Structure 1
């Protein structure tokens, strides 16, 4: 008995210490795995910014000659790209009813304001600002909470070049955004936008599961791709709104903006992701 007691009080061997460290590492990794990804949380915040900009631009042009289709297409592209990012991070959405009901209530209020704009009721612009601010607050709350809970180390965006299909998809998206900026300032922009929406919808239905489709492209994108795309989409929103105010200068501005939107995204598609710090 004394021998057993002495053995029980003996210090752990090197093998025992290594085993205990391995178990601790597994526990820590399981904890990290249940934390939200920092990159996906930041992407969620960027998504809230783009959604709010889209909503603000839409309310600004409703009831005017501006084309809502030119606002809708960039956001449609973003939602498909987002689907690929969600797959990369293995995100599974959980429905929380209080939050879902609040979201639907805010969306219903925003749609109500838009409907009044279409009817030309002349409601004050501060109502638009309140609707957009509420929309942003609802959609930014969750990613902000995920960002606070996320791990500082996020290995989901590993350094590797884009595949050939994703590069082609990235360049195609850049060209499409540039064309939208130009088309938005042309005569009969609404008709062109509707026709473009039909063609784009058909293309999405055909290429959604291909290596060059938007979901696969979003799956491979690094942060810089998302930033440049978002900046391009914001520029398209601004051009659509601007052409309702300054018609004389809208065409040259739209052409110049189209080139400046298309080139950076097409260029970054050709640049391999050299490292995590570079992305």
Structure 2
């Protein structure tokens, strides 16, 4: 099987324990307007532009004019000579394809870097958009004795199948209210909540992450809403919650992908995450910071 991967690199303790090789998989079923990796959203990939290298010579079909890529030309181009046949840095397809065994080989070679309990983390995009290949990869990494973490939005109905092949489970829960969830990210939270129950009951190392987003889920009422959600649906004492505050680090990438960044200027008020932690602890829910 093959995997579409749009980014790889090392990170310490932010996406799992210890020093880890972080593998970003192409494709996501959500359309979060604050996403810091918009190039990873379409499963079919997106043309990603590096402005400083974007020259007319990058596209033999004339899609580049005055330092701008005319994506209407790209829409009708099936050959993609810009990325398939030419050496240039101005335009690239967001992902590359790898055989699962190629990825396993790279992970094995990276073992000396997996210190302090480190290993491999699969993230996205959304990893379950490539479910069968991800399952195969996790199985093979386990056979090599490599610590495996995943980060997922928890919406896939087959999530439970991955439990035996994951050492650390990170699940994003974006909102407790189904209608608000659908309005902002395009899909319901039904399966996320179902899988939250299943995974927290059966897995021994679960971290729930909540991104705090202005005007989406950062109010006093939202703190109580999350507390009630987790109080009812977290089924294991080994499950912890972490709040992450909104940032605009990925804003420039939206333009590079030819997409509009629709988030209004704003930020999370100082002390908001600390207040959410206090409310959850009052409901008996453990909170952490990584």
Q: TM-score range by the shorter chain?
A: under 0.3
The structure carrying a bigger strand percent of its residues is 2
Task: Using structure 2 for the length normalisation, give the TM-score.
Answer: 0.20
TM-score by length of 1: 0.20
Choose between structure 1 and 2: higher helix proportion: 1
Larger radius of gyration: 1
Structure possessing the higher relative contact order (Cα contacts under 8 Å, 6 or more residues apart): 1
